[in-house]
Structure 1
Amino acid sequence: MKSLRMLLALVLAVSVLNSGYPAAAAPVSGVKARPNDGSGYWPDFSNTGYSHTPANAGGLGLGSYPGKLTDYAKNMSATKPMRLTFPDNSVISFKRFLSLKVAIYGDNLTFVGCLFEGTNPNDNLIQIYSKSKIKFLYSTFKPNTLTRPPGNDGTVSSAHSKPGTPFAKSWQAVTTMTESVAVMDHNDIWGNAGMMMVTGFPGRPSTWTNNYIHDQADTAHDVYHHDGIGPQSEGNGGPMKIDHNTLASLGNTNALALQGDGVYDHISFTNNYVSGWGYAVSIGTKNNATNITVTGNVFSAELKQLWGFLYGNIWGGKSRGSTWRRNVLQVRAGDGNTTYSPADNGKYLWPTGAPAKTTDYTG
């Protein structure tokens, strides 16, 4: 019997490791956990960013975070721009980049365990000129004058009160300047306005997994659009894979900011923790999206929200090949979003909005 128990324990451990989720999170369901609650279930300060880079991140054979970063260049300054040019297919690891604006050249580059910091209000901190693809794994993007987001003591997903990072100390965006598709995994991103990267192209999806996107800047004065992934304002975007991210902040617009009136197609938004924003998720401004998958997400009332979880009830709809399933509410006493009460905890969120439902959406 002892041998059988050991075998079963080994099988369970292997299955957890192969799942892509932290071993510590296995007993905890998504609706019971919150970022920075010690469970490690959601992306948060404990498992994203350069200091948490594990060995063999991205399957590249690198070691884990060595305990400190190396400055990319001498005399770097938040008041000076920087141009980075690397041979195609380069891997850049455990480097610190401090700049007014970083322009990145070279295709199929991979940044692992890096820190990008600066102060560039109302402009890009990073501009990407890769031709087809770029990856950021276990990297941190933040204002250079702050070590922790104002109002976030590491026990909440994002600050519960304004203003967050002041405008003068913030940075605006990371932006693709070409048709380069980004792969973003286990990054810690805060103190900014958004991540303005292309949504992807047929056969080349943009991919966002296990990222901690939180604490947007200047939430008191609304100088910025406060967007998590986005904004993408043109429409005609996709494909995208957005899976198992924390997207939490006070703000006036969207965690997923697909804000155009063209057709968004093959967007997969799954297994994410979403809290705050204006309308938390926007999938277009016209009801013409196609092949949209919104499943397994936890929509949390933790943070105050201006309007609702889904802009315009737009998500494609069954007739356009889209699916909305297993999206649940997380509500606790004292939460900032007072549209729902603790009695709604664990109930289903329908794309039609409030009230909470005891059965899943089937439309």
Structure 2
Amino acid sequence: MNTLIFILFATLSFQFCHSQWPDQTNTGYIHAPGYPGSLTTCTTPIPSNSMVKYCNFPDGYYVGSGSNYPRNITFIGCRFASNALDDANVAVFGYNITFNYCTFEPIFNITNPSYTQGYQYGIDQRKFAGGLFINYCNIWGFGNGLQLGFSNKTNPIIVTNSWIHNPRADGGIDHTDGILENYGGVSYMTFDHNTIVGVGNTQALGLQGADDPYDHITVTNNLFSGYGYVVSFGHKMSTNIIFTGNVWSSQFEPIHGPMYDSTLFETAGLNNLWKNNTLKVYPGTTWMNFGNNGKYWWATDGMVSNPNQIIGHNIDYINP
């Protein structure tokens, strides 16, 4: 990450009060620092080494192409809208691409869009991309909020302080994920202090690659709820996976349970850590007992078998 982007990213993150989850009050272009009250149409294509502020992209945007890989572009306070049923709202081919306080949404202003009213990917990281930074963004109406695939120590992926919610209906076609990486072999991804919630059939955080292990993945201080499983880490021998300070909330009932395969947190020698993850049960929840509220969430926990069950724990998970 170049120095300018790092300073901007760190400064914006410092402004956020970590006691408040990302939601409609603090994410998206409306809450961008200096937002003038309206958006403008900006000239495209956007060249490397650009900072783009308060622009409206009513038909989404491709950052580069299969033969053009721009570098060092920062979007601040922009809106990207799409009705590409089987394509991306924003496709990223470049390096060091940053989205701060941006909104990714359908062209239809419908809270719970049908399959035909949404789009496939909020951001789709494509060929030769690397270095992707997403901060304070509002992403909704998707089949998959983020589709990722290219990250390493030199060009990491960092997603922070963002609200990923209200996916489109799957239409019997989508497998719906908040964040998706389905190749494996990816390293140095960070997901910190995001709200990833919704009705979906796959995972809120789906690191699904089973052929090659992940390495150095950090998942901290996120609020998760709903989907098929809440989280998945794919390959059973992934290493240096940090999962701490996260909350599994009762806002949406998952279809299957909280964790798709906890093997990597039960296997010694992988240097993985599960610590200080908790349950949040809202008053009035009918599918999970309120007695679970505030208790520890363990990597090995399964789905609630009945509404009276206490699955939370009074002590933290003991790593192998």
What's the TM-score, normalizing by structure 2?
0.86
Deviation at 1:256, TM superposition (A): 1.1
Q: Can you list the C-alpha shifts for 1:284-324, whole angstroms capped at 9, x where unaligned?
A: 1x311100000001110111210111111244445200100
Q: List alignment gaps of at least 5 residues for structure 1.
A: 1-16, 27-40, 55-63, 74-83, 151-163
State the superposition RMSD in angstroms: 1.9
Percent identical across equivalent pairs? 33
Q: Contact conserved, 2:141 with 2:166, CA < 8 A, in 1?
A: yes
Q: Contact conserved, 2:35 with 2:54, CA < 8 A, in 1?
A: yes
- Say which SS state the counterpart of residue 30 (structure 2) adopts: helix
* Structure 1 match to 2:97: 134
Q: Does 1:20 align with 2:33?
A: no
- Residue 70 of structure 1 is aligned with which of 16, 34, 40? 40
Q: List alignment gaps of at least 5 residues for structure 2.
A: 1-10, 65-69, 303-310
> Matches of 1:47 and 1:266 in 2, distance apart?
29
- Say which SS state the counterpart of residue 187 (structure 2) adopts: coil
Cα 1:335/1:273, change in 2 over 3 Å: same
Structure 2 matches for 1:1-363, cutoff 5 A?
20=14, 22-23=16-17, 41-54=20-33, 64-72=34-42, 84-99=44-59, 102-105=61-64, 106-130=70-94, 132-146=95-109, 149-150=110-111, 164-173=112-121, 174-177=123-126, 178-194=128-144, 195-219=146-170, 221-230=171-180, 232-261=181-210, 262-284=212-234, 286-316=235-265, 317-335=267-285, 338=287, 340-354=288-302, 355-363=311-319
Deviation at 1:333, TM superposition (A): 3.5
> Matches of 1:224 and 1:254 in 2, distance apart?
12
Q: Can you list the C-alpha shifts for 1:50-100, whole angstroms capped at 9, x where unaligned?
A: 01012xxxxxxxxx1011111236xxxxxxxxxx4222210000000011x
> Matches of 1:266 and 1:234 in 2, distance apart?
16
What's the TM-score, normalizing by structure 1?
0.76
The one-letter amino acid of 1:319's match is G
Which of structures 1 and 2 has the bigger CA Rg? 1
The count of residues paired between Structure 1 and Structure 2 equals: 291
Cα 1:198/1:18, change in 2 over 3 Å: closer
- Say which SS state the counterpart of residue 304 (structure 1) adopts: coil
Q: Contact conserved, 1:282 with 1:314, CA < 8 A, in 2?
A: no
> Matches of 2:73 and 2:45 in 1, distance apart?
10
